[in-house]
Structure 1
Amino acid sequence: MHRDGKAVGFLTGKMDLATRAQSGQTLVLKRGVARFDLTLSGNIAVNSLTLKNAAQSVYLFPQAEGVKSPAGVVRKDVTVHFDEVLTTSTPGVLYVYEQENEGLEVSVEAMVDGQSKVLTKTLEEKVLRRNSIYTLTLRKDTLSSEVSLDVLAWEDGGNTQLQPDLDSQITIDKNLSSLPDGVQMTANNTVTVPSRALDFTLALDCDDELEFVSSENPCVTVEAVSSGVVGENKFVVHKALFPPGYPEEEVKVFFRRKGLNESYEEDCVKLILQENPIRLEGFTFDLQDYTCDFGRYIDNEMGRFTLPEGLELVAEFSEEDKWVKVEQVADAANTYRVLAGWKPNDPKADGRKQSAKLVVRRTADQQEMETTDRNLIYPGGIDVFFSAGVCCLGAFAE
């Protein structure tokens, strides 16, 4: 039965003593519960997870006829609330009993780009198997605001090894990997990645099945790909835009050998994140939401952008007055000054917090071309947006 609303973890095994020697034998135990892992991709923070209509009890030992729930089993919603919201992929977020059930649904409450969302998915599997792992993938599309919840088919929990085989270092199989233009493999466990947002698939060569653990940089998220091939480790790497102003960085992406509770320093691949070709003065953009908040009064020149050839900088406003002005530097065609004004240019001048969106885009000539600047622009030529917010008393009038 459940204890404090949670499934009680237990292990079982069987041995026929009549046909075995009385000493020196090993009894193999397997977990009696199923485990749910959570994989996140994008600017997502998970508050809670609910498995609806879950069985509250289970047979102690597996049944010969397969997965079967006890007669008259009580079914309730099982919810786990996280004390600290989950912003990275996390294993073991929920444990439930083995059960047969046609009404299982999983529901996730999350904040996506600051907006509250509840996503629900019906499990295609009609049974949950003990000693198995189910992966919930909550993904925000790189190029849109769409959010999806996927459930990977169950995988055998396997056996737990006491020690990892550190002689088997993780390497990248270039032939089985899918690397887009600009992504280059520079060592057997290292790839170099341009600053733009992109996705690519890495096939990892390892003697054990691997699980993603963590990334050292929030720009990089990873999720497993179920290829259906036994022993094949494939992962999709989602790499967000690396904003200007940050130097080139080596990021380690850590994995864990399936069945182990710990990850080890050696079990990683390295990504070299190339710096953005835009040069900045005066601005520091947040690595995750690309905003720059000065947090104080500021006027005159806020900073400068120096852009690669074929690009330009403009300011856009929603319902805000046009308080930011962008102008090219006369003796440096690729450099733009970003200026904030002062009273009386802003007729309101009420001390409100003002915001503007700075847009790096291709020039008119470049927009007519089919090619895309691979160091900066998203595939398809979508503009790159940066936001700048500042507490300011005035603004430039148009």
Structure 2
Amino acid sequence: MKYNLYLIFSLLLLVSCGQKEDVAGELPQGTIAAQLKISGMPGVCGSDAEVDIKDLQGFRFEDGVLAEVFPSLALDKEGMCVFVPKREKGDLYFLANAGAAEGLDKLKPGVSLLDDFMELEVSFPSLSLEVLPMTGSMAVEGKHTKAVFMKRSVARIDLSSFAKGVSVKSVAVRNVLTNGYMNESEVVRTPETDEKTDFEKVFEDGCFMNRSEPLFYMAEQKNAGLAVEILLNCNGSWQRLEARLPETIRRNTVYDLQVSGLGASAKVDVIAGDWESGDGTVSENRPLGVIDASASELSGGVRINATNDTVHVPYYGSDFRLALLGEEGARIKVEGTVDGVIVDQTAARTLQKVAEVSVSSKVRMPGTKKEYIYLDVYSRDTYAARVVLVFEGSPVRLEGQIRFDSDGICDFNRYIDGELGMITLPEGREIRLEFAGDSPHWMKLEQNEEGSWRLLGGWKPNDPEADGRVQEGKIVISGTDGLHREVYTVRRINWGLPVVNIHGTWWCKYNLRGNVKRFEDQVLIQSDPATQENLAQYLMNCSESELLALMGHQYQGGNNDGLPLSHNGNSFYYDGMKSSGQNFGTMGPSEMAPDGYRIPSYEDYAFFSWGDNVNLGGVGSRPFNNKTGQRLNVTVAERDVSFLGNHFGVVSFYDFEQDGNHWVLYGLGHQWNTTPGSIARMNILFATYGHSSNTWGMEGYASSENPGNNWFKFVPQNSQKTRTIRCVKNAVEYIYD
């Protein structure tokens, strides 16, 4: 089993959909939840191996003695694991991806000591790993939901080469110790071993240039013999560069081999930093670069590196000015482009400055990756130096359905509700929603865990503004001081159907007609003719032409277009009926329903019955208890009608009342084959989801023909027969006023 972890995880939902209680309060007695986070990772990584966990084990120690082992902890996709210790005492140590650890199988509860555990070794004989071993720990006592920061047991070696005309052929690190300790100690230790190896990476195309990437991983170690050799080509000439890695190589740290300069000035520097950026301190002194940092004007978040030749630009946008140094008469050439970035040059004000470069960078969209622009300095038409502008990719992580275009707009261009997406922010950023004027707050942010929010689209029952107008809201991300704002726009089309709430289920009042996906074809809220009176009474008294329009169309599975009632001069039939149709019972419940609605299931209709084949009785009212004991009342009414200028016959209306709420079931009878006249006038089949052969139907009889008989049934029916579609609203977590 494989999981991807990021610095900020969503809080595990241990309660059913729609509940908002705190997770810790929902944990059963004695249960502890651990939220695993990757130390030094804001959600961006060099490879999947750096965040994947394939297996997770736990070891609980009390007073320095192993008390309990959890050999296989389940980790959900949000990074949460739940366990039940025998005692809420001591400390729990986590080992992730520890398959290569030596002696793990020898640890025994009640026998093994914490000192033994800390001596576990792991071997890294090769330069690449499928997954990285990680460790972390937590105190068992106290809060029942805790964050655990996992550290990788290895260091990473990167290569960076941005010098113009320089391509790297190979990189080697000599005398690498292959064994290290799995667990972290207060000081870096190295197992007593003489096993060393050389790690080497050869670029077959010989053209590693203008980029930075991870090379390989190595164990944490104290080793004075770590030597670096780089073979490169500078404008056609081969050179070999040498450098030394620090004597102490620390876990969870990146060591970047940075190649710079040309010809005799070419060199490699080792810069150590955290896993986030690999940008830190220089291992040896370098001459001053081409950026005059003191004369430059930098906006918040813009950083110049220690060697004054690289500028890191934050993803949330910046406007800044760089002063570049050089000989008199030198010139600047800009290479590369990045969307939303403008680079302008102005004349220098002193002989020591080549130019002043103004850079304007817009907010980088979520999902964008790191990109580069190069400022190449030429002296008398000869390339002299390069400044690298590094435009950081956005660490804002989006999951789900929300996507932004280059202008920061997510336009769904349809009705949508429910969870629109998950938004994860880097540390130090805040998020909120903004709506214009008196616009309804149709979106909501719900925090899962620090730094992670669910974006919910809401629904308003019987909203008079659900008429196809556009709803808009803005997601605003900023620093805690309100600065460095990112503003993203989310739009949807607001549609809705008239509904009534029966025991927590929002039932549509009217049958579908026209195309099942087109709200414009349906009876909409603002055009509901029976808002001030009982629908059954309205259907009994309205004109026959209006009644036919409200009866809806018939449907066959797989055909989104309704089959209207027609007459050929001799018989009624449903225009467009085919000899076969798909099975509503096995199709997705939302496939033939407007966005946000679905085909009812067996359980939905069963609420209005006390069995699978019951007689509701004839014309009149009567109470009954349904299958789950709720008290309902049903009123049966009938009306003899003519449609399309021809006598159709008796149709019935079934008004179910529960706790004062009325829901009326009605419709045109089904057609059983394509021959005109094959309509069972009072036998209504309702599209039902979830069963491959049975469907709900109303087998009605006119009181003049078979009094006292109206049977509500869940029985087998073939998929050729037409169906009436009465939808229910999908469950929605956020209902707004």
Higher helix share: 2
Q: Could you state the TM-score of these two structures normalised by the residue count of structure 1?
A: 0.44
Q: Which has the larger radius of gyration?
A: 2
Greater RCO between the two (CA within 8 Å, min separation 6)? 1
